[in-house]
Structure formats: structure tokens, C-alpha cells
Amino acid sequence: MSSLPSAEELRRRARDAAERCGVDWIRGGGDRAVRSPINGEVLTDVRWQSGLDGDAAVARAGDAFREWRTVPAPERGALVRRFGELLREHKQDLATLVSLEVGKIRSEALGEVQEMIDICEFAVGLSRQLYGRTISSERPGHRLMETWHPLGVVGVISAFNFPVAVWSWNTAIALVCGDPVVWKPSELAPLSALASAALLDRAIAETGAPEHLSQVLIGGPDVGEALVTSPGIALLSATGSTRMGRAVGPRVAERFGRSLLELGGNNAAIVTPSADLDLTTRGIVFAAAGTAGQRCTTLRRAIVHESVVSALVERIADAYAKLPIGSPLDEGTLVGPLISSSAYESMQDALLAAREQGGEIIAGGGRRLAEEAPGAFYVEPALVRMSEQSPIVRQETFAPILYVLPYRTLDEAIALNNDVPQGLSSSVFTGSLTEAERFLGPDGSDCGIANVNIGTSGAEIGGAFGGEKETGGGRESGSDAWRAYMRRATNTINFSGSLPLAQGVEFDI
């Protein structure tokens, strides 16, 4: 693996990519440093905004909403179509910023921008399919139906691990549904956010859409607080930890707002005796080590039948030993850095706890490139064999740690899969149709995502994304997730010339 790029090289790449996207003031003048996890050095600085800025942005978005909600949905789709075209033109630039700010390897960063493009395509089609229902009325000469209308201003709070894709899931759908968006991105990825917002601003200007349909607020917790508490935010979509969700959910509910929460995941894959172990190994290694274990859908538990557990552990350990670890900008790198020192410390604390709770570290866990970049935290993905689902296994650690647990019966395996507070993603590797259908059935996985013969990560935008239990219950992206961004009205039209009442009620005057 080649050495890490210099700080000056990273700064140059950040400046050039951002300016090509339309961010022309990246060179300095701000009050907050932006660091790259690639080498721990400063990329640039940005100016943080305050909670008062958040209040003003919500007010501007409210003005835009009153105009945008009356624009026909297909015309709203034209804005999103143009945004998708600009994302295609600047895919490389935006992916560069994602890699620089959060450490994603090149292919994963490009994949994240592709998700943005894909959701724009989905939303454009959706703009002609915001269907309601016609319902049979019990009264003659009456029509009963449902209509869907724009909801209001959508607030988005996003996390570092998908610094732009999750915003685009919300924004593309919200815009075609008639809603403006106010976005607080992760403090760790402001440049990616500013570049994405600049491209959307350009699309807004080119299509003649109202100003302030899209606004980005770079700042700290006080900005998030402004979105959480503002009565002008009709829907708050927040991605983060379960702890964050516990704080946000009640605050939004207190003011009778809507919340869409995407919180923690402690995802498992069950491996049955009939599984193809070559396919299983590939699926597990990507799901567990991809994005350096920093996806909400990262595989954290492998629940493996006792007849194949030793063989599979050996295969995974061999694959881990060959994983190229280093600069995410280098071709061939598969594991980039953790986002910060605190992430590294959490990983080491979890490994210590696993040992204390009877675990055996089979592979990984060590640090790489510490002498070359003391401020960067590259780690070897860890493989830990456990005899039971101990407290540390039931806890999500946002780092590449894969716990392997044995099982004897499928009932036992499903119980282990479900015996955690989180309920985001899950999978089963099997050659048995019976086992697959049982896993997908009502007494199978209790997660929002349940896969067969693929890992827990890598969701497509066509399906609704989200989970159950402490994952928050929200659904974003595809399928009918658009309904969260609209309000439903039930309509009764009387064309009979008389006034029969429902349920046979008589009220003659």
C-alpha cells in the first residue's frame, strides 16, 4: 500500500472539487476546522451558523412552501430531474469530497453519489404517481376518495457515514411531494453538504423554482435543536444514534410534529448448514468490513450453525488477512480509516469487554499507519468468536467488529437474531427454501430489512429503508415512503341531490 497523501494534496483536491460544484468560498475565513480522517489534518475551515440562523431558514422555507405546494407535481419533478443531471456531471467531484471528509473508499463514495442519482430518477417517476384511492360509498349518489397534499417544511439531520445520500433520499422525495427542505448535515462533512446544496441551488435557479426550497445549515447542536423544536418543521427526518432518537422523538411529538427516525442497528446474518460458504464469506466480509464498519447496516453478528462455524471462521479470517487497508483514495484499498479517535477508542473498549465476557479474538483489532499519520485511525477489522450473546454483543459499536456465535437449531438462531434492542437489517445464508421462507415469515426476523443470500448492507433505493424497535420505525427512500412527506385528506362528494347520512342515521329537520 502506498503512503498517505500529503495534507497539501488533500486540501488541493478538496478545494478543486468543491469549487467545480459551485462552492467558491472554501479557501478559509471560517471559524471551525474541517479535518480529513485520511491523515487527521485540516482540509479547510468553515463558518458555523447558529440556532437563530435555523429559525430564519425555517421561516424562509415556509414562504417557499406556500408557493411550491400549488405547483403541479410533474413540474416539481422537473426540478429533481435537473438536479439528477447535475449530480451525474459532478459525480466524481462529489465522491472526492465524501472520501476526503469521511474516509470512504473510492468505489463506496461513488456508490453513494449514485444513490443520489438513483433517488432522483425514482422521484421524477413518482411525481406522476402520487396516487390516492376511490372508495365505495355506502350512500347512493356519493363518491368517497382520498387525496394527498404537500405536508410542509421538512427538516433533515444527517450523520457522517452517509453524508449526502440520506439527505438526497429525503430531499428528492420531499421536493416532488411539494415540500421545501432545511438540512443540518454532520459537523464532520460540511464540504460535501455545501457542494450538494450548491448543485441543487443551481437546479432551482435554472428551472425557475422558488428560492429557499433547499437550505443547508452548517453548525452544531443548537442548529439541530432549532429544527427539532420549530413548529414550522412539519416533518423531521433524523439519522443518528438511538440516544439521539430518544431525545429528538419526544420533543417533536410534544409539538405534534412528525418524526422519521433512522437510528442504531446491530445486524446479524444467520448461516445454515446448507449455505454456500464461498458466497457467504464474500457477503459477510463486505457487510462487516465495508465502510470500516461504519454503516448503520454493517454486519455485527454472524450466527453460524455449529457444523460449519469453524470452517467459516477460518475463511473469514483468511479474507481479513488479505484486506488492503490504507488511503481510501488509492485504487485497490478496501478498508479506509475510522472517522475519529473516539471511534477507535470505542472499538478498543468493545474488544476488551468481549475478551472479559469470554470472547476470543481470532483476527484483527490492531491499528495501522499510526506512525505515518498519528491523527488518523486505520484499523484491522476484528473477528471475535463468542460462546453466547453477551452484553457487549447486544450493544452496537460503530467499528468493524464481527462477533461469531454458534447455534444448533433454526429457532435458536432466529431468537438470537431478534434478541437485541435494535431491528434494522438481517440476513440468512441458506440453500433451503424452507429456511429462507421461515426467516422472512411473521415468526422470523423482526427487522425492517430481511435478506436471503446477501449481506445486511447495500440496500437499493427502490425499497423502503428503515427498521423496527430502537432503530426508530422510520421509512425512507423507495416504495411508499413518500406518504410520510404528504398529508392525507378523505373526501366525500355528494352528487345525489338528497342528504342520506352514513350508518343509517336519521336527523330530519
Q: What is the CATH number of the domain that holds 55?
A: 3.40.605.10
**Are 286 and 238 within one domain?**
no
Catalytic residue (choose from 115, 262, 435, 470):
262
pLDDT confidence tier of residue 161, bands split at 50, 70 and 90:
very high
One domain, residues 96 and 234: yes
In the chain, the number of structural domains is 2
Same domain, 257 and 292: no
The reply to whether 245 and 106 lie within a common domain is yes
Please tell me whether residues 371 and 481 are part of one structural domain.
no
Residue 411 has which C-alpha cell?
429457532
pLDDT of residue 3: 84
Does residue 330 contact residue 100 with C-beta atoms inside 8 Å? no
- Categorise residue 292: left if φ over 0, alpha if ψ from -120 to 50, beta otherwise: left
List residues bridging with 427 in a β-sheet.
269, 451
Same domain as 160, residue 44: yes
Same-domain pairing of 294 and 147: no
Strand partners of residue 303:
270, 405
Q: What is the CATH number of the domain that holds 451?
A: 3.40.309.10
Confidence band of 1 (pLDDT split at 50, 70, 90): very low
pLDDT for the residue 302: 98
In angstroms, the CA 292 to CA 290 distance is: 5
The reply to whether 125 falls in a domain is yes
At residue 25, the pLDDT reads 60
Query: Distance between CA 248 and CA 257 in Å, rounded?
Result: 11
Residues 391 and 456 in one domain: yes
**Catalytic annotation present for 262:** yes
What stretches of 150-266 show up as alpha helix (H) in DSSP?
A: 165-177, 190-207, 221-229, 242-254
1 found inside a domain: no
106 CB contacts (<8 Å, ≥6 apart)? 95, 99, 328, 329, 331, 333
Structural domain includes residue 505: no
In a domain, 498, yes or no: no
501 found inside a domain? no
For residue 381, give its domain range.
Answer: 267-465
Q: Are residues 243 and 280 in the same domain?
A: no
Domain membership flag for residue 411: yes
Contacts of 77 (CB under 8 A, 6+ apart): 123, 124, 125, 126, 127, 128, 176
pLDDT value, residue 136: 96
Looking at every residue in the chain, the average pLDDT score rounds to 97
Is 398 contained in some domain? Answer: yes
275 and 206 assigned to the same domain: no
Regarding whether 240 and 93 lie in a shared domain, the answer is yes
CB 195 within 8 A of CB 163: no
pLDDT in tens, 484-503: 999 999 999 999 999 999 99
Question: Same structural domain for residues 275 and 231?
Answer: no
- Condensed to tens digits (0 to 9), the pLDDT of residues 328-357 reads 999 999 999 999 999 999 999 999 999 999
- Mean pLDDT value of segment 238-248: 96
The partner residues of 464 in beta bridges, in order of sequence, read 477
Answer whether residue 431 shows pLDDT above 70: yes
Residue 509 is predicted with a pLDDT of: 86
Task: Let me know if residue 89 belongs to a domain.
Answer: yes
Please report the pLDDT score of residue 278 as a whole number: 98
